[in-house]
Copies of this chain bind each other. A is one copy, B any other.
Amino acid sequence: MMKYDLDKKPTRGAQRTLLAFSQTMFQLLAQKPFEKINVNEICQLCNFPRATFYNYFDDKYDLINYCWYVLAEKVHIEEADQLKPNEVVIIYFDRLYDLFENNSQLVLAILRHNQISGNLVNSFTNYLRNLAHKMFLEVFGNLHFDVPVELMVDHCSSTILLLIEWIFLKKQPTTRKQAHHYLAVLLGDPETTAVQDSTTEKPTHTGA
């Protein structure tokens, strides 16, 4: 749980401050690894005293969490409960695909200084996985699978993030259509896996 309550609407001053800190963090992330960034530096760069930083955040991890919140605000799906599980999974994947496409410069910059599967990148993917998890939990409701619902929810959110990591963090360029195919295969969608023969177009994964 973040120190600053995101539910209450912030005053103008608070908005300015929150924005300044998160932007500064993004700026620094594009310049150096997260572990090398310290609170003093952040405050110096955006001209706020340390006391102000600690008014809003417990520590830099709290700030980074807010950064992910800002970045991922757009991926929320409204009225998801009126859709079929299968649809929601694909829609959520597409939202993430958009998110990474629309922020590719930032993502690339961050990856230049922060190891994939390192602490920082993990914290972001965990954040997104969590979002997926919460949403799927609601949508999958009381449906019945061959495995417990919660396990299926875990599996779907994990697999989506796995694929996103594969494409955008491990940088394996993949079209949306191809990605959908992979997703179907990994999630064991019977329609997609078994009916390979009828589809003429084979996914062509060009090495590296």
Judged by a CB distance under 8 angstroms, whether A83 is at the interface is no
Judged by a CB distance under 8 angstroms, whether A19 is at the interface is no
- Interface residue stretch chosen among A69-77, A100-108, A190-198: A190-198
A155 touches B146 (CB 8 A): no
Judged by a CB distance under 8 angstroms, whether A51 is at the interface is no
A155 touches B162 (CB 8 A): yes
Chain A residues numbered 187-208 whose CB sits less than 8 Å from any CB in chain B? 187-188, 190, 193-194, 196-197, 200, 202-208
Residues of B within 8 A of A185 (CB): 145-147, 188
Q: Mark A116-144, 1 if CB is under 8 A from B, else 0.
A: 01000010001000100000000000000
> What's the number of copies of this chain in the assembled complex?
2
Q: Which residue of B lies closest to A200 (CB)?
A: B194
Question: Nearest chain B CB to A165's CB is how many angstroms away?
Answer: 8
- Alpha-carbon distance between A159 and B159 when the two chains are bound, in angstroms: 8
Residues of B within 8 A of A170 (CB): 150
A162 touches B158 (CB 8 A): yes
A interface, CB within 8 angstroms of B: 117, 122, 126, 130, 145-148, 150-151, 154-155, 158-159, 162-163, 165-166, 170, 172, 181-182, 185-188, 190, 193-194, 196-197, 200, 202-208
Give 17 A-B contacts (CB < 8 Å), ordered by A residue: A117-B130, A146-B203, A148-B205, A150-B170, A151-B163, A151-B166, A155-B159, A155-B162, A158-B158, A158-B162, A185-B188, A186-B188, A188-B188, A190-B193, A194-B196, A202-B205, A207-B208
Known A148-B205, A197-B203, A202-B205; 16 more pairs at CB < 8 Å: A145-B185, A146-B181, A146-B203, A151-B162, A151-B163, A158-B159, A185-B188, A187-B188, A188-B193, A190-B193, A190-B196, A194-B196, A196-B203, A204-B207, A205-B207, A207-B207
